[in-house]
Amino acid sequence: MTLLAVERIKLFSTRSPWWCAALALVITVGITALIAANTSTEFPLTVGVTQAFYTFGMYVVLVMAALAITTEYRFSTIRATFLAVPNRISALLAKTVVVSLLAGVIGELVAFGSWGISKLIKPDVNIAINTAQEWRNVAGVGAVFFVGAIFAIAIGTLLRHTAGAVALLLVWALVVESLVGIIPKIGDDIQRWMPFVNGNRFLTAGTEPFPGEPVINYPFGAWGSLGYFAAISVGLLIVAFVVAKRRDA
């Protein structure tokens, strides 16, 4: 518990998590508000539409999580941490728990904020959250943010360089996983195993795809996709812990 308290103090004593949290909320809720205001009978407002832009907030949270670890290496404060806590894995695990929990909270704020602003803009449209699928679509955003933060911390721990970690995370999530599907013959088979694609599958399983959205034959159901995303992230984190334990700080 002491390590968790220390990591919480370290995290919230810097400006980056506050700015990233605010930016994730403003961007995601703002875009959702614009879309909700322009929905019509041809493009109706649904619960799924209110959550269609959660990825904008997630990208900011990925940056926040990477910064939480890479800035310690940048300013060499990680050396003091490892001197105070010789068990490096315990220190890194405490940081992962704190940052990931914060990411999950931001995800819930983003999700329900987007739903709330849509309801406020179009009060006559029925977007009540009634079914288990709709609850997963909204409340599940926090779980995806939580797992995504673990993935980002693992990358940051492995690379230790802010620019490199942020660039890799954004290129992977924004470009690689989107474009891998256009590879002839094998693209679809590869894309259905991508971690962030499966995270999105957890949220959108059972909903109607948007016009022009590619239909992917996923290997798992909704909860299986989240489990797969979590397994990839935790596996990568374990590798990062082993590497961090063996090399110099």
Q: Residue 144 corresponds to which amino acid?
A: V
Residue with tokens 């209110």: 50
8 A C-beta contact, residue 72 and residue 78: yes
- Cβ–Cβ under 8 Å, residues 157 and 244: yes
Query: In this predicted model, what pLDDT tens digit does every residue of 165-199 receive, in sequence order?
Result: 999 999 999 988 888 888 888 888 888 899 999 99
Element holding 117 (H helix, E strand): helix 88-121
pTM over 0.85: yes
How many domains is the chain partitioned into structurally?
1
What's the domain range around 177? 2-246
Q: What pLDDT does 214 receive?
A: 64
- CA pair distance 208, 88, nearest whole angstrom: 46
Average pLDDT of the chain is 90
Task: Determine the 3-state secondary structure of 146 from DSSP.
Answer: helix
Contacts of 193 (CB under 8 A, 6+ apart): 219
User: Distance (Å, rounded) from C-alpha 20 to C-alpha 48?
Assistant: 24
198 touches 218 (CB < 8 A): yes
* 122 DSSP assignment: -
Q: Is the C-alpha dihedral spanning 69, 106, 193, 92 positive or negative? A: positive
Q: Are 27 and 115 in contact (CB under 8 A)?
A: no
Cα distances (angstroms) measured from residue 48 to each of 112, 147, 223: 12, 21, 17
The sign of the CA dihedral 203, 205, 211, 212 is positive
For residue 86, the model assigns a pLDDT of 80
Predicted confidence (pLDDT) per residue in 50-102, tens digit: 999 999 999 999 999 999 999 988 888 888 888 888 888 998 999 999 999 99
